[in-house]
Structure 1
Amino acid sequence: MRIVFMGTPTFAVPSLRTLIEEGYNVVAVVSQPDRPKGRKKVLTPPPVKEAALELGLPVIQPERMRSEEAVAEVASYNPDLIITAAYGQILPKAVLDLPKFGCINVHGSLLPRYRGGAPIQRSIINGESETGVTIMYMAIGLDTGDMLSRVALPITDEDNSGTMFEKLSLAGAQLLKETLPPLLAGELPAVAQNEDEATYASNLTREDERIDWTQSARSIFNQVRGLSPMAGAFTYLNNEPFKIWACKPLSAHADATTVGTIIAASSEGITVQTGDGQLLLTQVQPAGKRMMDVADWLQGARAIIGVELVSAVQE
């Protein structure tokens, strides 16, 4: 059994390591190209590449998986099975048709809900109480293939995208471990997805990060934790970007204060009026500074009671 594994971020690393630990013959690993990272734009390999090199596996990094050269290089490894986990590119039919056991994907949602590139973040932003991992056959459509196995995990108020990525990556690796033996033995039936239940989790944009203070405290709380610790949600304070990394909703009661207005500040956090209820900001990042607890920021901040946080720079 010759397996080609495709993945890029940290989410995919436990699945790759599990394959090796279980004794599967991973003949090559495909990952996205190295990218500039950080303020100094240092060219940095993706986590899956680092893990693969540590494990002594050959790595392929095509810029475009759809190119003839990339397809030919993958074909040269004569794979019996291709396994993907958060690879980041759609595979062309020429690749999908290569392995006799097909191509399977470890996807971070309970399909058919949240197909697409940002299922974990979107699940949290939308206030879901549950998500999970689905392993399915890959098809031409976006996460439309028949399902082989699923596992569900709760999303708690203490979770953000970072904690859920970690939980789901480990759950996906365990599910892969349990799925492969019956799959390869021809004993695991595939189940078609219900198209009527399908929803999509499109990649996040800058607008998804912008806070609209007319929304409820609960909605903004979900947005902040859905974007943390990756991009972060932002607003503007005194016409400068002001990121919010952690917060919690307070009791939802009516208040005549203008939405977005800071109505209290203490070592516990900054209280902001929203369209429905109040939000306690506990971890922030002022423009040009590092992420910090509100108590640390308040030590050097100007008087902020009554200051309005806004969704756009005011002319």
Structure 2
Amino acid sequence: MNRPLKIVYMGTPDFAVPPLISLHDHGYQILAVVTQPDRPKGRGRKLTPPPVKQAAMRLGDAVLQPETVRTDEFHQHMAKLSPDLYVVAAFGQILPQSLIDIPKRGSINIHASLLPRHRGAAPIQWAIIHGDKETGITTMMMDKGMDTGDILLMDKTPIGPTETAAELHDRLSRMGADTLLRTLQQMQAGTLRRTPQDPNKATYAPMLKKQDGEVDWQLPAEKIDRLIRGMTPWPGVFTFSDGMRLKIFRASVLDREVSVPPGTILECFPGELRVATGKGALAIKEIQGESGKRLPIDDFLCGCRLPDGTCLADLHDHKPPSFP
């Protein structure tokens, strides 16, 4: 029987928690958990440990939080631990090749897309924004490139027509744990195969910024809906009415002809908010005002009237995310 693999686990956000727990549940030896430093969070800017640190402490793991992994001290510490394997999931720092080469059996990354599509920091969000019908989890051997290593295993899942990035994130994090376990089992059995990525099929999923969420009403309703779903919960999609910032959480596409400028609120029944777009219209279902909370649209409109003909518009000169 193969001895348990000795693993250094590297991860930071909620996405990386289920794989760590799964490794414990299946008897793998965790030498250390490496995660990002505690950061200020919330209105009080209270110093808060990342989710992986919180999970690791509950599990009794040794936790390391280097500001950067690119130091001789960290390199020497990893070499002293002498791991069989790194397992990396949304860690947040790029590992240099000298660090990747330390484990005896290499370094495995859990990536939330069907590589080589959506390499980069925000694959879940961009899969929805670009209208992909499916996505999934890929485990790969790490190299010095950005998600360019050989593919090990890949599991696919459809993207629901109303699914948000938050909902898809939670499904994929659980899938990531399962795909990782099968990867390690095949590695120990000697049946794991490596498949080089085709660089000609690569696309990129760069980190999103807050300003990317500002609605361009010139876009078709379908694309705006995808933007809303892909950017919920972060960075969030927003627009303005008479200088008031409105954050949109859910909407649905209306297949109807419009003859008014994009961004114009259409005549509709009380308790509804329909907005003209570059093609078709959008029915807004959940919204939040500047000082309020997230509300169903009928509750919001009880306290904030938006008359027919009002134009929701951009206030800033911005470049929206690129759509296919």
User: Are residue 298 (structure 1) and residue 317 (structure 2) matched?
Assistant: no
Task: Please tell me the residue identity of whatever aligns with 2:273.
Answer: I
Q: What secondary structure sits across from 2:47 in the alignment?
A: strand
Give 1:268 deviation, angstroms: 5.4
Match of 1:22?
26
Matching residue of 1:201:
205
Letter aligned with residue 271 of structure 1: R
- SS of equivalent residue, structure 1 residue 269: coil
Pick closer, same or farther for the CA change 1:267–1:84 going to 2, 3 Å.
farther
Q: State the one-letter code of the partner of 2:165.
A: S
How has the CA–CA distance of structure 1 residues 70 and 266 changed in structure 2, closer, same or farther, with 3 Å as cutoff?
Answer: farther
Give yes or no for contact 2:30–2:61 (8 Å, CA) kept in 1. Answer: yes
Question: 1:224 deviation in Å?
Answer: 0.2
The 5-angstrom pairing of residues 78-93 of structure 1 reads 78-93=82-97
Query: Do structure 1's residue 73 and structure 2's residue 77 form an aligned pair?
Result: yes
> C-alpha displacement at 1:280, in angstroms?
0.5
5 Å-filtered alignment, 1:208-247, equals: 208-247=212-251
Shift of 1:300: 1.1
Who is 2:320 aligned against? Answer: none
Structure 2 gaps, min length 5: 318-324
Paired residues of 1:236 and 1:313 also in contact (CA < 8 A)? no
Does structure 2 retain, via aligned residues, the 8 Å contact 1:2–1:26? yes
Change (3 A) 1:230 1:313: closer
State the SS of the aligned residue for 1:53.
helix
Cα deviation, residue 156, structure 1: 1.0
Contact (CA 8 Å) 1:263, 1:305: kept in 2 or not? yes
SS at structure 2 position matched to 1:132: strand
1:284 to 284, 287, 298: 287
2:134 to 130, 141, 163: 130
Provide the rounded CA distance (Å) in 1 between the counterparts of 2:76 and 2:195.
Answer: 31
SS in 2 for 1:262: coil
SS at match of 2:21: helix
Structure 1 CA distance, aligned partners of 2:277 and 2:195?
44
- Give percent identity, aligned residues only: 42
Partner secondary structure for residue 259 of structure 1: coil
Aligned residues: 313
The CA RMSD over aligned residues, in Å, is: 1.4
TM-score (norm 2): 0.93
Contact 1:101 1:184 in 2 (8 A): no
Contact 2:33 2:63 in 1 (8 A): yes
Deviates more, 1:229-238 or 1:210-219: 229-238
Q: TM-score, normalised by structure 1?
A: 0.96
Whether 1:164 and 2:168 are equivalent positions in the alignment is: yes
Consecutive unaligned residues in structure 1, runs of 5 or more: none
